[in-house]
């Protein structure tokens, strides 16, 4: 503690800069170049204060407090200096600007009585150049007018220090200095990722949110959690007249710490899209007819009762929604089990990270990420395998990137040169589908070089000798030709990962969406065990989960074999029956993939798909469609008439977006966070939990579903799921809590397995045989197609395609190596046909050397392209997830008459 005198009064402060001390004491000094998210520079001098004994004023943002300092924050000298500095900053500012209370610069001008019309006349400098200042009024979200720039450099610094994009640059020097994007031209042509951090920090209105300019500043702000990916960013949603205008990141949010990406901040206009369905509908003779809610409930009840009476509970299936809340997913599985009497309940974790959950549960005992995002800043090294976080979990990606820029080591294992791969010490550009041998070879190299943690192996693992014998044959030399990388690089990857402690593993779908998805993840766990990177800060094995609440959806029991808490039915059914006052079915339920098989065979007759566009997102669309067409009743509950509803839907139930509801989401690091209603329900839509409750009541189960709020549902979840019992709504008013959280005193768990695993003190290494996928290239199908995501679009595209993101990324693209394209005479952005053994699609090509020759990468967000017409039918051997990442295809030019066979 330091004793200081401020403005004649004694204070104690705990150190840091003078500015931090002043802010802690609520003593306000103006700042223009300061933002707590970036390093202080002391450039604007507005925060300067007088310190007795020092002749010159000092910038409080860069000067540390010292014992006995006597500080004057508003002396005459200080205030005069501020006035002069502000006047100089204002000299070229447009005199006609109207006062905007949201802009710090405007507030200071007013506070210090600076009249822009006069300043200009007295001080305006002759322009140093004839070139007009940079403007950009064409970007869907940002509006740039550098006439209003006051050279605080906050945009440059936040872009560098938080997002790590380095877009904004200072061009020229002295009075000619001007801030422009890296390409000098419009933002859409630059490397900008539209995260909006620059607009968020700009104090003078030079970079602003376009919608705020067009629609007016929000009048209300509501704290909630982003509804896109599994990162779980908390934000303030700004609304005006019942419309979402813009979101602001929260500084105190543990996940995103004052940052958001293009989707969370801007991609929300889908909620107000003209084609949103807000009235229930029934399809008769091919035509959709609007009906009332009571009518639609009666219709569904009749049809489901008839099917249940004839064919029993195995003939119906329900899919929960990874986009809806925990409470809604809990009710969805309760609906399947109590109302329909069926364990045929699943969610899209099945096609996504079910292999991660299974692998982590089998090897370590808990099917979830071991560590937290806050470990990123502790980790000294990262292994990122089959994940592209700077696009798909952008806040996580930005945090990893910053840590790497500060010196942390990075190994990337991915067939494509992702953005993170460019920052990596080693990029193993392996062939799709070769994770198992690659990670075995890394394990081999770790053991061979002695780079293992012997103490950890001794105390926390079993049968290391057995594993060492098993791995002996998996030499980097043997694996190199299989994976298409050099033995040297494999050894280097092992050495880099083991060279620093602690090191974190993050993995994505490049690990799971394979025939050996679950087993591939088990091989990654081997590496964490060998190097002792488990149970410690900055370490662990962490799947980057997909949607906002996919972790929660499965965890709430939208899973054929597990009830809430991801606990096997046999273990908790008795307890659950007591709480539900209803029997829990014990028959093995069907996974989503098995439901589809059953639909093909005719034994599944009805499907209730909540917030999951199954026809569009499943692989091998033609087969999927054939199976879905056999169903007698397909109920789609969504915001939009999605591809499933259009193709095979019989009933449509209009759900509302997460801006319109209350509840909780569970993010990738096991954190349960609050979702709050920001705008009124649009039209006649309803929250999923209300629909489920009312439908259950119509079907005769009023009592079991008699909840009057999401909180009431959550409190039942806490009774069923022991590890979540301590997570009350009251406790997660801010920031959320990570499970296990056993009671209301429990602080939550940031790091799993610190002292032991739920399966015991020791874990086992997995000895997995490599079984190459049967999906192989031939002369007819010579390319390997890999599929995945892009920053600006999200999954089925139902949401992101209905926002300004459609201007940033209007359609899907097929990444192809320029040499392959040259041989096939394909030009950049030419539309081509890709054909696999399963189907065909037309898609524009993007030439890039991010992919290797012979390999292609397509996104799958645009229904006009329908990439999944091409993907195949192989599944993960353990949990059945589709092999989206490997499909043999050929590529043809559209204008070619005869289908030329293309050889890479």
Residues that bind ligand MGD (CB under 6 A): 229, 321-324, 348, 351-352, 385-388, 391-393, 413-416, 418, 430, 432-433, 435, 508-510, 513-514, 544, 546-547, 610-613, 617, 637-640, 642, 655, 657-658, 688, 786-789, 791, 793-796, 798-799, 860, 867-868, 871, 884-885
Site string for Mo ion, 324-353 (x = CB under 5 A): ----------------------------x-
Contact of residue 879 among Mo ion, ligand MGD, none (CB under 5-8 Å per partner type): none
Q: Which does 333 bind (CB under 5 to 8 A by kind): Mo ion, ligand MGD, none?
A: none
Cβ closer to ligand MGD: 546 or 726? 546
d(CA 655, CA 379): 41
546 binds Mo ion (CB under 5 A): yes
Question: What do you get for the CA distance between the two ends of the chain, in Å?
Answer: 68
Instruction: Give me the least distance between CB of 874 and ligand MGD, in Å please.
Output: 13
Cβ atoms of 350 and 880 closer than 8 Å: yes
Comparing C-alpha atoms, which of 841, 846, 811, 812 is closest to residue 829? 846
Supply the DSSP string of 728-770, one letter for each residue: -TTTTSSS-EESP--STT----SSS-SS-BTTBS-EEPP----
Q: Which is nearer to ligand MGD, 145 or 638 (CB)?
A: 638
The two tokens of residue 556 are 């709430």
638 touches, from Mo ion, ligand MGD, none (C-beta below 5 to 8 Å by class): ligand MGD
Nearer of residues 322 and 398 to ligand MGD, judged by Cβ: 322
Least distance between ligand MGD and beta carbon 453 (Å): 24
Q: Tell me whether residue 321 or residue 664 sits nearer to ligand MGD (CB atom).
A: 321
Residue 69: name its binding partner from ligand MGD, Mo ion, none (Cβ under 5 to 8 Å by kind).
Answer: none
When CB distances are held under 5 to 8 angstroms depending on the partner's kind, the choice from Mo ion, ligand MGD, none that residue 425 binds is none
Q: What are 756's two structure tokens?
A: 């032991």
Adjacent-strand bridge partners of 71:
6, 51
Helix (H, G, I), strand (E, B) or coil at 218: coil
- Comparing CB distances to ligand MGD, the nearer of 50 and 391 is 391
For the bound state, the minimum distance from the C-beta of residue 546 to Mo ion, rounded and expressed in Å, comes to 3
* Bridge partners, residue 835, by sequence: 840, 890
> How many Å apart are CA 172 and CA 458, to the nearest integer?
61
Task: Between 50 and 669, name the residue whose CB sits nearer to Mo ion.
Answer: 669
- Decide which of Mo ion, ligand MGD, none touches 385; Cβ closer than 5 to 8 Å per partner kind: ligand MGD
Among 902, 771, 885, 765, residue whose Cα is nearest residue 835: 902
Shortest Cβ distance from residue 808 to ligand MGD (Å)? 11
Q: Which does 785 bind (CB under 5 to 8 A by kind): ligand MGD, Mo ion, none?
A: none
User: Exposed, middle or buried by CB within 10 Å (0-12, 13-18, 19+), for 501?
Assistant: middle
Task: Tell me which stretch binds Mo ion (CB under 5 A): 544-552, 744-752, 831-839, 881-889.
Answer: 544-552
- Pick between residue 266 and residue 640 the one whose CB is nearest to ligand MGD: 640
Cβ 171 to ligand MGD shortest distance, Å: 31
| Beta carbons within 10 angstroms of residue 99's beta carbon | 10
Q: Are 548 and 230 in contact (CB under 8 A)?
A: yes
The verdict on whether omega for the bond into residue 502 sits within 30 degrees of 0, i.e. cis, is: yes
796 lines the binding site for Mo ion (CB under 5 A): no
Rounded to a whole number of angstroms, the minimum distance from the CB of residue 154 to ligand MGD is 26
List the 2-6 sheet strands across, edge first.
9-13, 2-6, 70-72, 48-51, 58-59
- CB 416, min distance to ligand MGD, A: 4
Other Cβ atoms within 10 Å of 701 Cβ, number: 18
In sequence order, the β-bridge partners of residue 567 are 563
* Shortest reach from residue 611's CB to ligand MGD, in Å: 3
- When the beta carbons of 352 and 814 are compared against Mo ion, the nearer one is 352
- Shortest spacing between CB 123 and ligand MGD, in angstroms: 46
The smaller minimum CB distance to ligand MGD, of residues 526 and 658, is found at: 658
- Measured from the CB atom, is 157 or 670 closer to Mo ion? 670
Which helix (H) or strand (E) covers residue 444, if one does? helix 435-448
What residue ranges in 350-456 does DSSP mark as E strands? 381-385, 409-413, 426-428
Give dist(CA 119, CA 136) in Å, integer: 26
CB of 229 to Mo ion, least distance (A): 9
Query: Nearest approach, Cβ of 332 to ligand MGD (angstroms)?
Result: 10
Residue 619 binds to Mo ion (criterion: CB under 5 A):
no
Q: Distance between CA atoms of 194 and 692, rounded to whole angstroms? A: 37
- Report the nearest approach of Mo ion to the CB of residue 809 (Å): 18
* Beta carbon nearer to ligand MGD, 430 or 727: 430
Distance CA 572, CA 564 (A): 9
Instruction: From the list ligand MGD, Mo ion, none, pick the one residue 796 interacts with, judged by a Cβ distance below 5 to 8 Å according to partner type.
Output: ligand MGD
**CB of 547 or CB of 685, closer to Mo ion:** 547
| Rounded Cα gap, residues 266 and 847, in angstroms | 28
What sign for the dihedral angle of Cα 815, 819, 824, 829?
positive
Sequence-distant (6+) residues with CB within 8 A of 89 are 32, 44, 105, 150, 151
Measured distance CA(256)–CA(635) in Å, rounded: 36
Binding-site partner at residue 613 among Mo ion, ligand MGD, none, CB < 5 to 8 Å by type: ligand MGD
The entry of Mo ion, ligand MGD, none near residue 321 (CB within 5 to 8 angstroms by kind) is: ligand MGD
Distance CA 281, CA 516 (A): 41
788 makes contact, choosing from ligand MGD, Mo ion, none, with CB < 5 to 8 Å by partner type, with ligand MGD
The entry of Mo ion, ligand MGD, none that residue 233 binds, CB within 5 to 8 Å by partner kind = none
| Distance in angstroms (rounded) separating the CA atoms of residues 356 and 362 | 10
Q: How far is the CB of 470 from ligand MGD (least distance, A)?
A: 21
Question: Six-digit token pair at 586?
Answer: 């014990």
Nearer to Mo ion, 17 or 225 (CB): 225
Shortest distance (Å) from residue 179 CB to Mo ion: 38
CA atoms 262, 268, 274, 276: torsion sign: positive
Q: Which residues contact 451 (CB under 8 A, 6 or more apart)?
A: 445, 494, 495, 498, 499, 531
Taking the C-alpha atoms of residue 370 and residue 756, their distance in angstroms, rounded to an integer, is 12
Q: Which string of b and e fits 666-679 if b means at least 16 CB within 10 Å?
A: bbbbbbbbbbebbb
Residue 783 Cβ, how far from ligand MGD at the closest point, in Å?
A: 14
Q: How many residues bind Mo ion (CB under 5 A)?
A: 2
Instruction: Give 178 or 513: the residue with its C-beta nearer to ligand MGD.
Output: 513
| Beta carbon of residue 3, minimum distance to ligand MGD (angstroms, whole number) | 51
The neighbour count for residue 686, using CB atoms within 10 Å, is 22
Q: Which does 893 bind (CB under 5 to 8 A by kind): Mo ion, ligand MGD, none?
A: none
Question: Does residue 387 belong to the site contacting Mo ion (CB under 5 A)?
Answer: no
The one of Mo ion, ligand MGD, none whose footprint includes residue 559, by CB under 5 to 8 A per kind, is none
Of ligand MGD, Mo ion, none, which one does residue 376 interact with (CB within 5 to 8 Å by kind)? none
Closer to Mo ion at the Cβ: 180 or 263?
263
Nearer to Mo ion, 529 or 799 (CB): 799
* Interacting residues toward Mo ion by CB under 5 A: 352, 546
């Amino acid at each position: 503690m330091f004793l200081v005198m401020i403005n004649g009064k004694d204070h104690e402060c705990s150190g840091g800069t003078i500015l931090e001390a002043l802010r802690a004491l609520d003593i306000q000094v103006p700042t223009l170049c300061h933002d707590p998210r970036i390093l202080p520079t002391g450039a604007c001098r507005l925060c300067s204060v007088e310190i007795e004994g020092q002749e010159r004023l000092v910038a409080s943002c860069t000067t540390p407090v010292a014992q006995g300092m006597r500080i004057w924050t508003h002396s005459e000298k200080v205030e005069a200096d501020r006035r002069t500095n502000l006047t100089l900053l204002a000299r070229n500012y447009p005199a006609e600007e109207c006062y905007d209370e949201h802009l710090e610069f405007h507030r200071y001008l007013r506070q210090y009585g600076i009249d822009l019309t006069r300043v200009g006349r007295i001080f305006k400098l002759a322009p140093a150049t004839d070139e007009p200042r940079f403007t950009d009024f064409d970007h869907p979200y940002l509006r740039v007018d550098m006439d209003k720039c006051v050279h605080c450099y906050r945009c440059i610094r936040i872009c560098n220090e938080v997002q790590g994009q380095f877009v904004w640059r200072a061009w020229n020097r002295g009075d000619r200095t001007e801030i422009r994007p890296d390409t000098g031209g419009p933002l859409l042509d630059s490397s900008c990722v539209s995260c909006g951090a620059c607009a968020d920090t700009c104090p003078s209105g030079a970079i602003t949110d376009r919608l705020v300019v067009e629609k007016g500043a929000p009048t209300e702000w509501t704290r909630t959690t982003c509804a896109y990916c599994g990162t779980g960013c908390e934000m303030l949603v700004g609304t005006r007249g019942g419309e979402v205008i813009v979101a602001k990141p929260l500084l105190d949010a543990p996940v995103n710490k004052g940052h958001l990406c293009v989707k969370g901040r801007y991609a929300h206009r889908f909620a107000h899209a003209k084609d949103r369905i807000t009235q229930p509908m029934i399809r008769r003779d091919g035509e959709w007819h609007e009906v009332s809610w009571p009518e639609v409930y009666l219709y569904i009840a009749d049809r489901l009762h008839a099917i249940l009476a004839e064919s029993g509970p195995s003939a119906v299936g329900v899919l929960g929604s990874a986009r809806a809340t925990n409470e809604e997913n809990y009710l969805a599985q309760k609906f399947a089990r109590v109302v329909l009497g069926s364990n045929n309940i699943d969610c899209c974790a099945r096609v996504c990270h079910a292999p991660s959950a299974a692998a982590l549960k089998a090897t370590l005992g808990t099917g979830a990420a071991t560590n937290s995002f806050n470990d990123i800043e502790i980790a000294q090294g990262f292994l990122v395998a089959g994940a592209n976080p700077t696009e798909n979990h952008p806040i996580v990606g930005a945090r990893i990137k910053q840590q790497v820029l500060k010196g942390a080591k990075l190994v990337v294992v991915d067939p494509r040169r992702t953005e993170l791969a460019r920052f990596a010490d080693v990029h193993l550009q392996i062939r799709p589908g070769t994770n198992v041998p690659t990670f075995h070879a890394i394990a081999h190299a770790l053991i061979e070089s002695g780079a293992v943690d012997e103490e950890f192996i001794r105390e926390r693992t079993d049968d290391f000798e057995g594993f060492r014998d098993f791995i002996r044959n998996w030499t980097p030399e043997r694996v190199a030709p299989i994976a298409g990388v050099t033995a040297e690089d494999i050894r280097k990857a092992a050495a880099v990962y083991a060279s620093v402690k602690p090191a974190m593993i993050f993995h994505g779908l490049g690990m799971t969406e394979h025939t050996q998805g679950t087993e591939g993840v088990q091989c990654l766990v081997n590496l964490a065990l060998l190097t002792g990177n488990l149970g410690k800060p900055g370490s662990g094995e962490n799947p980057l989960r997909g949607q906002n609440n996919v972790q929660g959806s499965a965890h709430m029991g939208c899973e054929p074999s597990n009830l809430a808490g991801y606990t096997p039915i046999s273990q908790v059914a008795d307890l659950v029956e007591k709480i539900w006052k209803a029997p829990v079915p014990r028959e093995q339920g069907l996974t989503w993939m098995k439901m589809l098989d059953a639909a093909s065979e005719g034994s599944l007759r009805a499907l209730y798909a909540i917030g999951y566009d199954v026809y569009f997102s499943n692989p091998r669309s033609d087969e999927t469609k054939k199976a879905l067409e056999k169903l007698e009743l397909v109920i789609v509950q969504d915001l939009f008439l999605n591809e499933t509803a259009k193709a095979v839907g019989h009933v449509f139930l209009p759900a509302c977006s997460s801006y319109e509801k209350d509840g909780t989401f569970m993010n990738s690091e096991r954190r349960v966070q609050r979702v709050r209603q920001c705008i009124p329900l649009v039209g006649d839509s309803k929250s999923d939990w209300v629909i489920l409750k009312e439908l259950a009541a119509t079907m005769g189960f009023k009592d079991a579903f008699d909840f009057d709020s999401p909180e009431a549902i959550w409190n039942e979840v806490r009774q069923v799921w022991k590890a979540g019992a301590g997570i009350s709504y009251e406790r997660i008013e801010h920031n959320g809590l990570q499970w296990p959280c056993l009671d209301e005193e429990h602080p939550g768990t940031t790091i799993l397995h610190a002292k032991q695993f739920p399966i015991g003190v020791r874990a086992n290494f997995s000895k997995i045989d490599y079984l190459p996928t049967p999906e192989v290239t031939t002369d007819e199908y010579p390319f390997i197609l890999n599929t995945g995501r892009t920053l600006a679009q999200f999954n089925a595209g139902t949401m992101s395609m209905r926002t300004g993101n459609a201007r940033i990324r209007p359609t899907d693209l097929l990444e192809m190596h320029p040499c392959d394209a040259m041989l096939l005479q394909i030009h950049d952005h030419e539309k081509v046909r890709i054909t696999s053994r399963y189907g065909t699609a037309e898609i524009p090509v993007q030439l890039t050397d991010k992919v290797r020759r012979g390999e292609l990468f397509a996104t799958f967000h645009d229904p006009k392209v329908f990439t999944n017409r091409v993907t195949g039918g192989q599944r993960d051997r353990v949990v059945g997830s589709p092999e989206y990442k490997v499909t043999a295809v050929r590529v043809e030019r559209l204008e070619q008459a005869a289908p030329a066979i293309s050889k890479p």
